[in-house]
Amino acid sequence: MRGNRFTYYIREGINSIFTHGFMSFASVCIIVACLIIMGSFTLLALNVDNVIDTMESQNVLMAFVDDSYSQDEARGIQSSINALPNVNRSYFVTREAAWDSFVSTYRNPSLFDGLDSTTLRDRYVIYIDDISLMAQTQLDLAGVTGIASVTAQLEISSGFVRIRNVITLVSLALVAVLFVISLFIMSNTIKLTTFERRDEIAIMKMVGATSAFIRWPFVVQGLILGLIGALMSFVIEWGLYQLLTQKLIAGAGIYFLTVIPFYEVAIPLLAAFGIVGLGVGIIGSMLAIRNYLKV
Amino acid sequence: MVQFTDVFKSYENGTKALRGVSFTIKDGEFAFLVGPSGSGKTTIIKLLTGEIAATDGKVIVNDYDLTNIRFGKMPYMRRTLGVVFQDFRLIEDKTVYENVAFAMRVIGASNKEIRRRVPYVLELVGLDTRTRRKPQELSGGEQQRVAIARALVNNPKLIIADEPTGNLDPARSLEIMLLLQKINELGTTVLVVTHEKELVDSFSKRVIAIDGGRIISDGMDGYYTYER
């Protein structure tokens, strides 16, 4: 009997899709449109995050060692620096190495005649884990015995953090808004189906069909439409992403950007599309049918 | 069995549809419920089918106390009923067979049970040669027979017929009433709601008359004419 019912739900759900072909098509199109916009913004956010991560890894703090410390003493404080929270790694740069590096950036080294490396201090180049905590790490470093001063490009780091936050917020807001829109459209499609079949539903109630029995074919309908929409969106998103990353970015000569390859995000994206598509389908159909089941 | 005990029903707009209605219909009985428009007949049907709840009093249908019934139990109560309407309420794009089978399918009957039961019921109502027709290809009387077959197919204890002859000519009306009588003789309780005096008087059955939300007569004396 259970198998019988299952077949009935599937058959009725599929029949309903074809009986209301235009609305089904419209629902799938809306889901595809919403999922592609959601997906595109998510991919954009991921890529921005990736780029920021790369930039973060190049954004370092400089901790200058007190002049009174010998180089051996200066090397001795590296363990204290590395033990600080948020410090990923550090390396020691002698004043001589720093001087050579500085002078080499100028075409005319004679400008620095009469000066030598004692003008500079020994220093540590410090990489951190979280760029948003740069100011706190700067304070912590300043507190290490033997560190005379610490420089950090706080404006750049806060800029990165702001960009990331804005994109994450916009993406989240868009995902939420588009989810609600998809839900609304799907719910209305199924509502139209239920409206056309209201007499049938009334008869079902009258002869003693349970609410679950009445609901399931509509849920199956929503589920199939959601799934079709999700799969179509995934394929289109894939194509769009490849097109944009390979042709547009490469063609425009933006080589410094590192783009996440699609295969790295394909499975999570497919899973997310599947969950959103199915969620929209199932929740939308349940919202549409609930009024008919109250009696 | 149907048991109404001092039932009151008021709607949200203030209309008092029933004012202390009490009656009992025993298993296997045939009864008419008669009364003019607005007398409370439809309210009684809605109470019997669980579409609405009584404001006060007790309604028991086939051992289900509808005053306290849980929502989840309602479908199971409805499976003990068969309801026939004046406008037939058939599904237009399904054949006669499918319309009747549909009522079994939606309560989870197996294909085997459906194949066994539906032809039997269609033969009982005299439609065994019309199984592949769509409702619009049938006469009014035949459509009402399909509706009766659908009401009967799940073997209910009680059949409620709401103005079953309202859309039929006198000859077809009589046929339908004879069919309902035959179903009653096979053991099903039948309650016919009507305002057709001649039809009621041509059967020597119990008549419950209602007017103004109150029972005004209950007996075997035919249609009770009540002047407002």
Facing residue for B78 by CB, picked from A1, A4, A207: A207
Q: Which domains does chain A have, with CATH numbers?
A: 2-55+158-293 (no CATH), 60-152 (3.30.70.3040)
Percent of chain A with pLDDT strictly greater than 90: 23
Q: DSSP string of chain A? A: -HHHHHHHHHHHHHHHHHHTHHHHHHHHHHHHHHHHHHHHHHHHHHHHHHHHHHHHHH--EEEEEPTTS-HHHHHHTHHHHHTSTTEEEEEEE-HHHHHHHHHHTSS-GGGGTT--GGGS--EEEEEES-GGGHHHHHHHHHTSTTEEEEE--HHHHHHHHHHHHHHHHHHHHHHHHHHHHHHHHHHHHHHHHHHHTHHHHHHHHHTT--HHHHHHHHHHHHHHHHHHHHHHHHHHHHHHHHIIIIIIIHHHT-TTPPPPPHHHHHHHHHHHHHHHHHHHHHHHHHHHHGGGG--
Hey, what are A160's tokens? 């990165």
pLDDT given for residue B228 in this prediction: 41
pLDDT above 60: residue A255? no
Q: Chain B contact for A8, CB < 8 A?
A: yes
Reduced 3-state DSSP string for A5-28: HHHHHHHHHHHHHHHCHHHHHHHH
Q: Which of residues 167-226 of B touch A (CB under 8 A)?
A: none
Whether the CB of B158 is below 8 Å from some CB of chain A: the reply is no
Are B83 and A206 a contacting pair at CB < 8 A?
yes
Q: Which residue of B has its CA nearest to A196?
A: B91
Residue contact A207–B77, C-beta within 8 A = no
* Model ipTM value: 0.82
How high is the pLDDT of residue A2? 56
A125-157 pLDDT, tens digit per residue, is 998 888 778 889 999 999 999 999 998 877 777
With a CB cutoff of 8 Å and minimum separation 6, the contacts of B161 are: B83, B84, B148, B151, B180, B190, B191, B192, B193
Average pLDDT per 10 consecutive residues for chain B, totaling 228 residues: 96 94 96 92 95 95 93 93 92 92 89 94 93 94 94 94 89 91 95 89 92 92 58
A210 reaches B (C-beta below 8 A): yes
Pull the structure tokens for residue A155. 């404006």
- Using only C-alpha atoms, chain B has a radius of gyration, in whole angstroms, of 17
pLDDT greater than 80 at residue A58: no
Quick check: B79 and A203 CB within 8 A? no
pLDDT tens-digit map of A187-212: 777 777 778 778 888 888 898 999 88
State the pTM of this model. 0.68
Tell me the average pLDDT across A43-63: 79
* Of residues A1, A204, A295, nearest to B106 (C-beta): A204
